[in-house]
């Protein structure tokens, strides 16, 4: 067996970034990976504007004077343009509205009193008060989006703010999936004795959809070498990456490993991780192959730890490693294991602050623990944990998206 770190490094070294690109509208760009950096063609804002509702003035009109009164000669709303502001005059102005020529400060309306055509105020005024200068956020020509960025809502808003209607992104990664096992039944069907519903199919679909992949779902494959070989061949011919669940152990009915070795090559098998030891990586023709364990928790955990970063790297994302937050343990873990363990955990707030609790059942078959949890706690090889000791916590908010 190889370590978690060795396995991840091995897989990432073989993650070939896609070269094909496509142009998409901003409405279709969420979750996609930017293929080309983007620079702003404009200053943002394109003009000095007011950051508050109030009155635009020349600051010099108020310097060294108490109880300043100025005549209000114009009203400027957002989207409107004022005219030159002479000395001794003020302009009623609203948040986001352009500063009229000649004005260099805005007095907020809470510091003013309007009396007919006059406004008087007593707060100190200095040039630049409550004014957003031109280019305060973005200067024309500056890079606003970096290639390899996975586009979130805020990146889409930023692109829109500089007038970009379309973005060049990496094409969707085609990922073929299937589950191995005669015991698997489709939800909605009658469950015979000895059978189980195929939960992994929907777990993998959800995980891949969250990563923006194009899914080729081959469903369930029967437990035979011929059927497994045929399914792998079909998957490899249609997809960039093939991900399977189940059939990776050494039992008489575990055919995936043998089938991969027959029509491709297996380059990595078995990792010192719990749950998920039978994880495998290989190649079938030009497609990558990743074999996940069949137990439902093992499928989820190994996807989060290995498949997610691999698929992101294939899409050109440079930073793919999840970041752990050190959190005091609210549990005791007296077992020093030989494999790195990932426990289903959740954060809880108490009188002493935030701590990490673990689900009482940590078996790889206990799928309810993944719903109860909001993340994973990592227990390194040979380590025990006492209450209050910091442990690395990985949030599902990061691991699943």
Q: Considering the entire predicted model, what is its pTM? A: 0.91
Query: What band does 228 get if pLDDT is binned at 50, 70 and 90?
Result: very high
Q: Residue 252 — pLDDT band, cuts 50, 70, 90? A: low
Distance CA 178, CA 290 (A): 11
User: For 295-321, what is the mean pLDDT?
Assistant: 97
Q: Is the pLDDT of residue 267 over 80?
A: yes
> What mean pLDDT is predicted for residues 14-33?
97
H helical segments located in 264-363: 296-302, 308-314
Give the chain's mean pLDDT.
Answer: 95
Determine the average pLDDT of the residues in 134-151.
98
Query: Would you mind telling me the total number of residues written for the chain in this entry?
Result: 401
Distance CA 79, CA 116 (A): 25
Chain segment 182-202, per-residue pLDDT in tens: 899 999 999 999 999 999 999
**219-233 core/surface letters (b: 16 or more CB in 10 A; e: else):** ebbebeeebbbebbb
80-123: pLDDT as tens digits: 999 999 999 999 999 999 999 999 999 999 999 999 999 988 77
What is the pLDDT averaged over residues 237-253? 84
Q: How far apart are CA 80 and CA 77, in angstroms?
A: 5
Q: Which of 118-122, 187-191, 207-211, 315-319 has the lowest mean pLDDT?
A: 118-122
Q: Which tokens sit at 174?
A: 């085609």
């Amino acid at each position: 067996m190889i370590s978690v770190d060795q396995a991840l490094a091995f897989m990432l070294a073989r993650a070939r970034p896609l070269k094909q690109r496509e142009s998409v509208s901003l409405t279709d760009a969420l979750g996609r990976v930017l293929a080309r950096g983007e620079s702003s063609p404009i200053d943002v804002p394109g003009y000095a504007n007011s950051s508050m509702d109030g009155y635009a003035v020349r600051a010099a009109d108020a310097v060294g004077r108490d109880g300043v009164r100025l005549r209000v000669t114009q009203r400027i709303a957002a989207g409107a343009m004022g005219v030159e502001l002479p000395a001794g005059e003020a302009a009623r102005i609203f948040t986001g509205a352009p500063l009229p020529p000649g004005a260099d400060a805005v007095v907020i309306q809470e510091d003013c009193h309007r009396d007919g055509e006059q406004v008087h105020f007593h707060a100190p005024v200095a040039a630049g008060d409550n004014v957003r200068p031109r280019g305060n956020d973005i200067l024309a020509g500056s890079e606003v989006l970096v290639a390899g960025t996975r586009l979130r809502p805020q990146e889409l808003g930023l692109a829109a703010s500089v007038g970009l209607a379309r973005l060049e992104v990496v094409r969707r990664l085609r990922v073929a999936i299937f589950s191995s096992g005669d015991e698997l039944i489709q939800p909605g069907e009658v469950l015979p004795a000895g059978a189980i519903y195929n939960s992994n199919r929907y777990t993998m679909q959800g995980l891949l959809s969250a990563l923006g992949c194009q899914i080729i779902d081959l469903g369930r494959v029967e437990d035979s070498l011929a059927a497994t070989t045929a399914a792998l061949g079909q998957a490899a011919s249609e997809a960039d990456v093939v991900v399977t669940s189940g059939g990776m152990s050494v039992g008489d009915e575990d055919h995936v490993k043998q089938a991969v070795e027959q029509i491709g090559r297996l380059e990595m098998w078995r990792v010192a991780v719990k749950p998920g030891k039978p994880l495998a990586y290989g190649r079938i023709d030009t497609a990558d192959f990743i074999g996940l364990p069949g137990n439902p928790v093992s499928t989820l955990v190994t996807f989060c730890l290995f498949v997610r970063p691999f698929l992101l790297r294939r899409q050109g994302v440079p930073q793919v490693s999840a970041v752990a937050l050190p959190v005091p343990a609210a549990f005791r873990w007296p077992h020093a294991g030989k494999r790195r363990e990932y426990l289903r955990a959740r954060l809880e707030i108490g009188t002493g602050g935030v701590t990490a609790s673990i689900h009482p059942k940590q078996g790889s078959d206990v799928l309810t623990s993944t719903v109860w949890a909001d993340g994973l706690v990592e227990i390194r090889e040979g380590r025990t944990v006492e209450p209050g000791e910091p442990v690395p916590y990985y949030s599902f908010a990061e691991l699943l998206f």
